Amino acid sequence: MTGITHHIPDELLIAYASGSLPKAFSTVVATHVSMCDECRARLGAHETLGGALLDDTPVQDVSSDMKARLFDALDTPAATERVYERSGIFPAPVMEALGGLPPKWKPLGLGVRQMILNHDRSGSVRLLYIPGGMAVPDHGHNGLELTLVLQGAFSDETGRFGVGDLEVADGDLEHEPVAEDGPACICLAATDAALRFRSFVPRMLQPIFRI
């Protein structure tokens, strides 16, 4: 996809390539990579470098029992995993998180909706539906937040984010994203810690909406 101006930082791509990125962030990175030729090429370069480093790693001897368990596992037929394809505005990694079904939106108020795709101790990933012209309450971050635009666009103190753009927000950023007029802004967002809202009402509703 062309026109993408906000990309994945190298440190996140390297963590994703090595398999050390938490599930919530991995879902967002995989989705962006599926939409962005530049980041897909950069990811391939990191994976190639990682493979070369593994080739140079000294071989470690293992016990005969471990070898036997490994070969037994290789001989066990693996369950066939379903392959998901893009559907409408939702790339394949999002459709996988949705189990191939349309999103089941839950209202957050003032037309804003969400669907939580995964929530555990390492973080959460959700779809957000923000009507055109609507602002998300002013907030800061206790950790890292990745927000990927799937439809529409939003703007905040750092710039404009359109389809395919990824915003990386950390504890240094406090912002009030505003969806552009027109079609609703639909985003895939992942966090590893609760947000810091200034207003009382959003803070009160945080435990209910798990944001």
Exposed, middle or buried, 112 (CB in 10 Å: 0-12/13-18/19+)? buried
How confident is the model at residue 204, as a pLDDT?
63
Between 100 and 208, whose confidence is greater? 100
Between 211 and 42, whose confidence is greater? 42
- Contact between residue 115 and residue 104 where contact means Cβ atoms under 8 Å apart: yes
pLDDT digits (tens, 9 = 90+) for 17-72: 999 999 999 999 999 999 999 999 999 999 887 555 544 556 666 677 766 776 77
- Could you tell me the pLDDT band of residue 83, with boundaries at 50, 70 and 90? confident
How confident is the model at residue 21, as a pLDDT?
95
> pTM score > 0.85 for this model?
no
Between 56 and 202, whose confidence is greater? 202
Map tokens 């368990």 to a residue: 69
| Single-letter residue type at 185 | C
d(CA 26, CA 86) in angstroms, rounded, equals 17
State how many domains the chain has: 1
How confident is the model at residue 113, as a pLDDT?
96
* Mean pLDDT on 1-12: 90
Residues listed for the chain: 211
The CATH number linked to 185 is 2.60.120.10
How confident is the model at residue 1, as a pLDDT?
66
**Looking at residue 90, what DSSP letter applies?**
B
pLDDT over 60 (residue 201): no
Task: Read off the tokens for 75.
Answer: 């001989």
| Single-letter residue type at 181 | D
pLDDT digits (tens, 9 = 90+) for 144-198: 999 999 999 999 999 999 999 999 999 888 889 999 999 999 999 999 987 777 6
Between 163 and 139, whose confidence is greater? 163
Give how far the C-alpha of residue 34 lies from the chain's centroid of Cα atoms, to the nearest Å.
12
How confident is the model at residue 146, as a pLDDT?
97
The parent domain of residue 67 ranges over 1-211
How confident is the model at residue 27, as a pLDDT?
97
* Mean pLDDT on 111-126: 93
- Contact between residue 105 and residue 114 where contact means Cβ atoms under 8 Å apart: yes
